[in-house]
Structure 1
């Protein structure tokens, strides 16, 4: 039993009833007394909020039903639990009391053990509700802080980051540069995309989990983004001696090919980067990784010859689902699913020991 003295307001117009209840509860609770409905309302309206009210029904001028109705109709007092302590024990009386918001009925003459048990129960429930309300307020404050950080990151970081990412490519295409200068600009561009990936992973995904993320759609050249992802991960697939096979509508990809989809390009880059990196990690060395685009179906399929481990096949797109990867976080396919859902895209996979794994995104 919590030893903190919770406040109980006893409302009854009969002194002997007040005395009986007071003697029963005074050692365990802090008590206040009201001998009429008006007095009870004055006490709570003056700010002396009880944790529980024991309320008689049959009182002159204002009966307990009206007192209960007024308390429940005021947002400042509506959460105070009310137990009717009354000689009125007809079924209709109890039904009316519960309809008005009472939490329990105790019949007169009272049974002391019963009163103590029911009072303790309601006090405990009230304390639990108050704790939950406090925790909810803390969660709301934390969420507001995250929202503010996200706003700063999106507007104060992402906007200049767009420039950092786009200017190197413009310079490479429009200015005569030495090879080492082009390499330096490429490094700047790659660092910009890496920063972008970090921002998206920590902020945008949180909002997608909450279902509050709003996609900023524009036309995306899927081929261009795909080439960028592959170039950024070139060192990985070269070390493993994997061959990257790109195709559009069943034909080998040419320099002039393009496929336009609608979405948020930076998120799309992040999603493709995660999925292709996962395919590289899962693929055996010296094997092909195929990236097949279909302009009619508006889809892309990423295939490698590695099979998804049996223990995570049912949770492949779940958060923290990983197996056999010491540095794996289990967030790559999870974030891909969230990004797909935020855009209204469909993502699915098939896997087997014989045919490997194919992830398909349909736009």
Structure 2
């Protein structure tokens, strides 16, 4: 990495003035920015005042040795990241090991060659430069992500209410305007508009909750509640969408009453997303089975469909933020792929686990665990 030497400040610490002068002349000639100290205590004072980027530190000094200076620096939060090159006449294996043990970054024995010294200094300065670039880019990325999350949150929040109103109106129109009244073509258009609105509303709801979760503004509020009652309410809502594809949502034989201890809103979101996905990927006239069972201290909720299923390759990508994907449903329903990631996040926040089993052309079963009431 190319570095501009005069942008970095080097502190030379040696109790012998001739050594200090020699090093200073040599380094200044090589375009380094140099300050000096003649003792360990003076060096610590200068470090606080001048904030040097690198130390060239002698070991054998009166009152405070170079090793003691290094130990003091490593215990100080503002000094511990400053790299140290020990420059000393000591050159035994024990001396070198001691130097690294107290926090030294390099060790050069006197007498030294100018080329060796400058190369080792430039190496440490290039590491500093690289670290600063990483820190700066990380901060810029953090700001970009924060800005993006805020934008998503604002968009989702501002659109959710009017989209909810449109959804309610379309639901009322479908219930009160049968095909005999407005004609089959017009009714199918109304159904399509209603389905699209449901998908957009679900996306906005997921997006709002996801961004709140990512920026730490969605806290888990634990409650004790009976999960079958909550699930039956969600089934009633999703069944309205399922009816458009003539899909029946029913309870499996394994359906137990279970009092759980979790965040009820997060649990509803998980169940709604899993049921909506099951409907989305089921074929016309299919069936979605829901089961609840108790296992040790957890309630296990499963949603099984007999839809299109997933290939083994796609299964490996699912539930992974870096490889997660979205596909069209059996009726070309669109999705963002955000719902399952949100489910995974919410389940884990409540102390549970989300998993699935799937077979291409046969169907999928998504399950999650949630703590039982103690």
TM-score, normalised relative to structure 2? 0.71
Selected match of 2:88 from 86, 89, 93:
86
Pair 1:62–1:338, CA change in 2 (3 A): closer
Match of 1:187 in 2: none
For 1:132-151, list aligned pairs within 5 A.
132=134
Selected match of 2:230 from 221, 225, 231:
225
1:93-122 Cα shifts (integer Å, max 9, x gaps): 222222221111111111111111110111
Deviation at 1:292, TM superposition (A): 2.7
**Secondary structure class of the residue paired with 1:314:** helix
Task: Report if aligned partners of 1:240, 1:286 keep a CA contact under 8 Å in 2.
Answer: yes
In the alignment, the residues of structure 2 paired with residue 29 and residue 15 of structure 1 have an alpha-carbon distance, to the nearest angstrom, of 19
In the alignment, the residues of structure 1 paired with residue 14 and residue 360 of structure 2 have an alpha-carbon distance, to the nearest angstrom, of 77
Pair 1:14–1:113, CA change in 2 (3 A): same
Selected match of 1:106 from 108, 120, 140:
108
Deviation at 1:144, TM superposition (A): 10
**Secondary structure class of the residue paired with 2:320:** coil
Pair 1:85–1:344, CA change in 2 (3 A): same
Aligned pair count reads 319
1:56-81 Cα shifts (integer Å, max 9, x gaps): 22334443333333333433323221
Task: Report if aligned partners of 2:203, 2:335 keep a CA contact under 8 Å in 1.
Answer: no
1:226-275 Cα shifts (integer Å, max 9, x gaps): 3332333344322212122234646xxxxxx9654332111111001111
In the alignment, the residues of structure 2 paired with residue 339 and residue 104 of structure 1 have an alpha-carbon distance, to the nearest angstrom, of 48
For 1:258-269, list aligned pairs within 5 A.
259-269=258-268
In the alignment, the residues of structure 1 paired with residue 126 and residue 361 of structure 2 have an alpha-carbon distance, to the nearest angstrom, of 60
In the alignment, structure 2 segments of 5+ residues that lack a partner are 165-174, 177-197
**Secondary structure class of the residue paired with 1:313:** helix
Deviation at 1:195, TM superposition (A): 7.3
In the alignment, the residues of structure 1 paired with residue 139 and residue 275 of structure 2 have an alpha-carbon distance, to the nearest angstrom, of 41
In the alignment, the residues of structure 1 paired with residue 78 and residue 292 of structure 2 have an alpha-carbon distance, to the nearest angstrom, of 60
Deviation at 1:124, TM superposition (A): 1.8
In the alignment, the residues of structure 2 paired with residue 292 and residue 13 of structure 1 have an alpha-carbon distance, to the nearest angstrom, of 79
1:119-178 Cα shifts (integer Å, max 9, x gaps): 01111223334455566777899999999x8xx99xxx9xxx9xx9xxxxxxxxxxxxxx
1:351 has 2:358 as partner: yes
Task: Report if aligned partners of 2:10, 2:53 keep a CA contact under 8 Å in 1.
Answer: yes
1:35 has 2:38 as partner: yes
Match of 1:245 in 2: 250
1:204 has 2:213 as partner: yes
Pair 1:287–1:38, CA change in 2 (3 A): closer
Runs of 4+ in 1 over 4 A off after TM superposition: 130-147, 190-198
In the alignment, structure 1 segments of 5+ residues that lack a partner are 165-178, 181-189, 251-256
In the alignment, the residues of structure 1 paired with residue 319 and residue 267 of structure 2 have an alpha-carbon distance, to the nearest angstrom, of 17
In the alignment, the residues of structure 2 paired with residue 114 and residue 91 of structure 1 have an alpha-carbon distance, to the nearest angstrom, of 19
